[in-house]
Amino acid sequence: MTEQTVTTELADTLAFCEQALQYQFRDRDLLLRCLTHASIARIRLDSNERLEFLGDAILGAIVCDQLFTMYPEKTEGELTRVKSVVVSRTSCAKISADLELDRCLQLGKGLADHETIPSSIMAAVFESLVAGVYLDGGFEAVSQLVRRVTVPEIERTVETSHGKNYKSLLQQLSQKSCRGMPIYVLLDEKGPDHSKCFKISVRIGDEAFAPTWGPNKKEAEQRAAENAWCQIQGQDPPNAAE
């Protein structure tokens, strides 16, 4: 393989990574360092390890800001639990896989020959790229990237917080009792377009359950489902709203 072929393949790899991130680097050497694992680097400082350290901190700060804005009613403890899941190695590795960053990683021969790249390496490359976008384009650029890829993880984590997906639990309960399928009814919404909240109630057959407010429809539906589930069980609805 000629040096020109190697150069062309590397350029294609960097371009693919930029397309996945929806961000174009001004400093291509920085992008390459973000993708370079210590197993192939000439010295450790040429790898993405230092960038991973910085990216971890930046990712955490942006996710905290998102959670603080998206869920004004949640306590510090609840926000901390969600944040710990969203910035975990598992979530970062999943984001990397969704972006197909495994196609971009620069690995030593031993790792490159493996069919599956370890999740720790997949997580690290995402954190490194967070740092790279921050250094190359500033905080606004990296905020756009992080928000785009983590909001689905945040919503999924909130929906299944404490291991309970109340929409699923309610559906199972209503099916067992032959009540019919739950229907989620939007009763009201308020606030500006960029920061609306929604009031939703669950109806099963002819019975309507206590409505609740949520910062988005998914969260409001989960809370409404929890209200209905509790009421069917003979408990007070925990999220009842006027």
Q: Which residues are catalytic?
A: 56, 127
- Quick one: 182 exposed, middle or buried, by C-beta within 10 A (0-12, 13-18, 19+)? buried
CA distances from 202 to 112, 161, 163, 220 (A): 51, 20, 21, 10
Helix count (H) and strand count (E) of the chain? Answer: 10, 4
d(CA 203, CA 211): 10
Q: How many CB atoms lie within 10 A of CB 212?
A: 26
Q: Are 174 and 197 spatial neighbours (Cβ–Cβ below 8 Å)? A: no
- 209 Rama sector, left if φ>0, alpha if ψ -120 to 50, beta otherwise: beta
Q: Are 146 and 154 spatial neighbours (Cβ–Cβ below 8 Å)? A: no
d(CA 41, CA 43): 5
d(CA 92, CA 197): 29
Partnered with residue 236 across adjacent β-strands are none
